[in-house]
Structure formats: structure tokens, C-alpha cells
Chains A and B, each alone.
Chain A
Amino acid sequence: MKKILTAVAIALAIGGLTVAHAATTAPSGKAKYAIIFKNTGNPYGEKEMAGFKKAADEVGAEAILKAPDQPTAEAQIQMIGELIAQKVAVIAMVGNDPDALEPALKKAMKAGIKVLSLDSGVNPASRMVHINQADPERIGRVQVQAIAEMIGGSGEIAVLSATSQATNQNLWIEWMKKELAENPKMKNIKLVKVAYGDDLRDKSVAEMEGLLKTYPNLKGVIAPTTVALQPPLVSQPRARC
């Protein structure tokens, strides 16, 4: 037993030192700019984080790229805490929930960290600036116009979105609904359902199949997220979009 104890202790110590060595050789002293995305692996997020890193390199700052394994606010709150402890200069936030991050981000701002949100925003009280990479009104209206053109001006459509709390998608969907209501050309188009794939591909595929089954007359689907964009392709043999 004693032997095992010693062996474990030594193994841990050696492991620790090697990793420690690797970590301390990284350059420090530069200002740290951090970004937290919704979840790991999301192709859109990979692009966004790559861009963030490039920009941070250009201004001579060290970029920290973080994303939780599941798209939840709980994990993001924890990450904000870790960034506050690291005394980063900036946190750029792509939120999984507009309100749930407020206490954590307020704490960061109190610690002197500049907080901004981008893409999927957080509520105004929890950030200094929000960067809207695209005009929500234009996105919403144009997507409806595009699908109207694709289905020939009349029929049932559905929306397959990310999570129900994704701020940007929800804003786009609001504008889609407005466009449908305001534009006389859209009076023959009916939005039958807004489904949520939770930014998970398996769930998005299941939701898509559900849509096809529940609404056999469905003519088109708007998928305003990269994750939900794929299911229509997978279910293509039966989809008419």
C-alpha cells in the first residue's frame, strides 16, 4: 500500500512538473484578450475564434479562446470566473443566455475588465458594447424574401433555430415574423412552427424529421444557424427546400 502511495505521489509530481514546464515557457506580460464562445466544435465558432486570435495578435495581445463542451450558461459562468482570476484585460462574450451571465459579467466589469458581447448578445446591463456582426432586421427580412422566392410565393414554412435563448437568432426570427406580417407579398406564406435544435446536430436532425412528418405540406425551412443548416441536407431525400 505504501508503495502504491509513493508511486502515485511521484507520478503526480513528475506529471505536474512536465506540464508546468510546458506552461511557464509560454510568453507572458502581454495583455490578455479572451473570448468565450457558446460551445466547442461549432464550425461558426471556430471561425469567430480564429478571427479573434488574428486580431489580438495584430494588436500585440495574447488571445485566450474558451468554449464549454455543452452550450450552457452554467459552464460559461465558471469560465468567466477563471478569466477574472487570470486578470485578463478584455472578455468578449458570445452568450448562451442573455440574462444568466449578468452577475458574472458584472463582477468582471467591477474587476476592471472590459466586457463586450458579440454575435449572440447578453443584456445591456452585463456588457459595455455589443457588436452586431449583421443587421438583424436585414437578415430576418432577406431570409423570408429568399425563401418566398424559393417556394414560389406561397405555402407553409418553418424555422429551425439554435437554442430558444439564442439572442441573435430570436431577434432574426422576430424580424422574419414582422416581414411575414407586413409584406403583402407574403400573405400566402404561413410560418407553421419555430423549432429549436439547441445547436446540437443530432437534435436538429430529429427536429427536422419531426417537422417533415408533422407538416407534410411544408414547402421550406429557414435554418438561421450553421448547426441546424445541416439536417435539411441530411434529410434531403424527403425535404422540399
Chain B
Amino acid sequence: MADTTRSFRDAGLLGFIIALSVLVQILNPSFLSLENLADMAKNTAILSILSVGMMLVIITRGIDLSIGATLALSGMVAASTVAMWRDTHPLVAITLGIGIGLACGSIVGVLVARGKVLPIIASLGLMNIFRGITFLVSDGKWISANQMPASFKGIALSSFLGINALIWIALIIYLLAWWFLTWNRMGRQIYAVGSNPESARVSGINIERTLYWVYTLMGGLSGLAGVLWVSKFASAQGDTAMGFELSVIAACVLGGVSIAGGSGKISGILMGTLLLGILNNAMPLVNVSPFWQTFIQGLIILIAVIINALVKRRAVRRTMQKRNI
């Protein structure tokens, strides 16, 4: 039952995306040009990377509000490092960013798994702390483009086979995540923990360990995203990515990840981020006033989640009817 509902919903979302694309294409023929599509993918890459982590968190019935701050902190540390030692290899910077992200994430993980603190509170508290530390690390200053070596800025500018590095990184992460959720034992356990913690415990799953790793993974992805973000915008600031966590959550919700836990698919969040990416990219193209863009975005999110709810309701009713017969 659940599978048919979900595929029905997926088809609906896909249909919506296609309809939207056709509409935009009619209004502005440059929308489906290769150049614009590549641009759009590049600009959505960071959001899509974070959505993977957030999906795992939400599947376990959690939420992580600290990722924007984690992103800023690891981006700031990586940027300060390359500003100080200009010949640092970009890979070292990326590793450093991921490392800091993992550390931040593991603190959230310990609080949630061990301290039994509600995820929303633990991550809200740590969000404040990580922001404060970002400020301490940078002494309130910004790291600007001229302080960063070309090799570092090159991370987001370089391309392979004509496709931007950010897109490659996002693709690799999606492949890994798909493997992890389909074939890895812990990946399967994440669903079990989310859909029914009690029976998961009974069947021998170490819930604390699973939760800990989910948040740590989320942190690691935020760390990676931090380096990419700073390289892309060539600027590290104390307020980098403030509020970005809400966009990430919105992408997951659009992609059909249920806040109640237990459900969420890679293909879903891929479409969720794609929809947000198209909205961001297409509205300027069809000359929607920038002041209308926020409103339209919010409205589409609301409509999408309401349709989701209605579809679910209908599916449940139908199964009930079948049982009666």
C-alpha cells in the first residue's frame, strides 16, 4: 500500500516539475539551454548535498537546526587556514571542513542519542554555540576573495568533462547515499529506528548508535558543504548560510520525507531540491518580480505538502474500504 501511495505521489511531483518546466520554457526559451541547466544544477548542488543528511535525520524522527551554523564554522575555519597558509592543497581544506563538520555533528549526536535531548532543542542550542564559535574563530572579520588562493576558489570553479565540480560532488554523494540506504545494514536500520523505535530495539538494533551516526553524518555533510559554499561565494562570514537549514528542511518536505519519521527516498529529495532549484532559477528568467518570489515559493511548498496529505488520506481510506469488502 505504502509503495503505491509513494510512487503515486512521486509521479505527481514529477508531473508538477515537468509542467512547471514546460511553462517556463514557453515563457523563456533559454530555460532549457544546456548552459542554464548547468547553472541551475551548480546552484542547487549544496542544497541537495545537505538534503541527503537532513533526510536521514528526519527519517529517525529528528530535525537538525544547527547545520547552517556548522556550515559557517567549517567554512570559516577552512577559509582562515587557506588564507594563512596559501599553498594548502584544496583537498586538505575539504578534509579539514569535513572533519570539523563531523565533530560538530557528533556533539549533536551525543546530546540526542546519549543525553536524550530532543533533537530540535539540542540542535537549536548548538546552533547558537557554533555561530558564536565561528565569530570567535574569525574575530568578527570576514575572509574575502583576495585572501583566498586561486586553488581554493578553484574548487567550485573547476570542472571535469565539462561539468562543474559541485555537481560531480553532489552526484557522488547521491550514489553513496543510495547504496547506503539500499544495501548497507545501518542504512536499513535507520528506517527501522524511524518507523518504530520500540520494535527496532526489540529486534536488536542499537538505537543510540544509529542516532549518533546519523547526526555525525549530517555534520560531515554540512562541513563539506561549508567548504564548497565558501569556495563558491569566495567569502567566509560569521553569518554565512544563516537560516539555510529551513530551506534544506523545506526541500526534504517537498520531497515527501515525512516529519513523523520512517519514510523518505533519495529520488524524493532529488525532486524536492530540483523543484526548489527550478523555482529559484526560473522566476528571474520569466521576470517574476523579486518581491513576489518569496511568496510564490512559500505557496508552492504549502500546496505541495497539502496535496501530499490529501493523497495519503485517500490511500488510507481506500485500504480501509478494501478491508471492509
Contacts and interface: CB of A to CB of B under 8 A. Distances in A.
B29 interface: no
B318 interface: no
B289 to A, nearest CB: 11
B145 interface: yes
11 contacts: A40-B140, A41-B140, A42-B142, A67-B140, A201-B142, A201-B233, A202-B235, A202-B240, A213-B284, A233-B234, A234-B145
Nearest to B293: A210
Contact of A69 (B144, B234, B235, B238): B238
B145 A200 contact: no
A46 interface: yes
B238 A214 contact: no
Interface in A65-95: 67, 69-70
A205 B287 CA distance: 18
Contacts of B144: 43, 230
B284 A202 contact: no
Given A202-B233, A202-B235, A234-B234, A41 B142 contact: yes
Interface in B151-165: 153, 157
A234 B233 contact: yes
Given A205-B233, A214-B284, A230 B145 contact: yes
B280 to A, nearest CB: 8
Interface string A20-45: 00000000000000000000111100
B5 interface: no
A190 B284 CA distance: 20
Given A69-B135, A213-B285, A214-B287, A201 B141 contact: no
B66 interface: no
B235 A43 contact: no
A227 B36 CA distance: 26
Contacts of A43: 142, 144
B138 interface: yes
A205 B240 CA distance: 13
Given A41-B138, A70-B242, A233-B234, 6 more contacts: A41-B141, A41-B238, A46-B141, A69-B239, A201-B235, A230-B145
B224 to A, nearest CB: 18
Nearest to A42: B142
- Is chain A's binding surface mostly helix, strand, loop or mixed? helix
Interface in A186-241: 200-202, 205, 209-210, 213-214, 216, 230, 233-234, 237
B156 to A, nearest CB: 9
Interface in B119-158: 135, 138, 140-142, 144-145, 153, 157
B284 A41 contact: no
A43 to B, nearest CB: 6
Interface in B192-207: none
Contacts of B135: 40, 69
Interface in B18-50: 30, 36, 39, 43
Nearest to A213: B284
A201 B135 CA distance: 17
Interface string B221-259: 000000000000111011111100000000000000000
Q: Which 8 A-B pairs have the closest CB atoms?
A: A201-B235, A41-B142, A40-B140, A210-B284, A234-B234, A205-B233, A214-B284, A202-B233
The residue in A41, A201, A205 that gathers the most chain B C-beta atoms within 10 A of its C-beta is A41
